[in-house]
């Protein structure tokens, strides 16, 4: 199953779809480009060997919450995983408009889906509840708009990054 991410890299919003084919092999789609990726842990902590389309590169990843410091070869990238699914936004995040793909902010089980296909929602409205580590986590709408796709139902198990629903945000 593909996982969808919205990443803020140096102030530029990028949508990334990652498909895991197992055993550390992935297909990453960024816009129209598609890459074959192999990520191999070197120390089970933050050092990895990354192979993109056959080219090897050492990678160090430091993660704190939704923020990543990526050191790829000699280059450093500060990356923020957009927190739209959790209903919280950084003040530097881009304005929200258009089609939004809300993804699971954590692994858990969907206990309630509070909206239906075609429902109009307001920014901050509760959309669904995910139970993780015996805690109910209410997922709220990051924008005002219409639910155009529901990808989960109550009792479904989701992994972090799995698609929950699609929202067509109003262009106000």
pLDDT at 64: 67
Quick one: pLDDT band at residue 153, thresholds 50, 70, 90? very high
pLDDT at 119: 96
Q: Determine how many CB atoms are found less than 10 A away from the CB of residue 50.
A: 17
Mean pLDDT of 137-143: 85
Statement: residue 87 has pLDDT above 50: no
Residue 90 falls within a domain, yes or no? Answer: no
Statement: residue 146 has pLDDT above 70: yes
Question: Residue 144 in contact with residue 169, Cβ under 8 Å?
Answer: yes
Which CATH number covers residue 24?
A: 3.30.700.30
Are 11 and 76 within one domain? Answer: yes
Mean pLDDT of 149-163: 91
Question: Residue 156 in contact with residue 142, Cβ under 8 Å?
Answer: no
Question: Residue 113 in contact with residue 155, Cβ under 8 Å?
Answer: no
What residues make up the domain containing 143? 98-169
Final residue of a structural domain among 29, 51, 81:
81
> CA gyration radius for the chain?
17
Are 70 and 8 within one domain? Answer: yes
Q: What is the residue whose two structure tokens read 């070197």?
A: 42
Statement: residue 5 has pLDDT above 90: no
Statement: residue 164 has pLDDT above 70: yes
For residue 18, list its beta bridge partners.
3, 28
Q: Which of 8-12, 30-34, 107-111 has the lowest mean pLDDT?
A: 8-12
Q: How many domains does the chain have?
A: 2
Query: What tokens does 52 get?
Result: 């993109």
Residue 87 falls within a domain, yes or no? Answer: no
Are 33 and 75 within one domain? Answer: yes
Are 11 and 73 within one domain? Answer: yes
Residue 47's contacts (CB-CB under 8 Å, 6 or more residues apart) are 41, 58, 59, 60
Which CATH number covers residue 134?
A: 2.40.50.100
Are 67 and 31 within one domain? Answer: yes
Give the neighbor-by-neighbor strand order of the sheet with 145-150.
98-103, 163-169, 145-150, 120-121
Mean pLDDT of 53-62: 80
Mean pLDDT of 8-12: 70
Are 66 and 103 within one domain? Answer: no
pLDDT at 46: 64
CA 45 from centroid of its chain's CA atoms:
21
pLDDT at 88: 35
């Amino acid at each position: 199953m593909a996982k969808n991410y919205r990443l803020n890299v140096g102030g530029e919003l990028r949508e990334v779809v990652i498909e895991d084919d197992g055993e550390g092999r992935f297909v990453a789609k960024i816009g129209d480009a598609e890459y074959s990726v192999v990520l191999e842990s070197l120390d089970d902590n933050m050092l990895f060997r990354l192979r993109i389309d056959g080219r090897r590169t050492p990678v160090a990843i430091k993660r704190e919450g939704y923020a990543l410091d990526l050191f790829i070869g000699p280059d450093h990238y500060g990356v923020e995983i957009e927190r739209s699914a959790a209903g919280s936004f950084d003040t530097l995040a881009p304005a929200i408009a258009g089609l939004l793909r809300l993804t699971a902010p954590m692994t858990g089980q969907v206990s309630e889906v509070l909206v239906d296909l075609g429902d109009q929602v307001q920014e901050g409205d509760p959309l669904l509840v995910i139970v993780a580590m015996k805690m109910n986590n209410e997922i709220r709408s990051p924008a005002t708009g219409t639910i155009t796709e529901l990808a989960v139902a109550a009792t479904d198990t989701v992994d972090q990054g799995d698609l929950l629903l699609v929202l067509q945000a109003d262009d106000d």
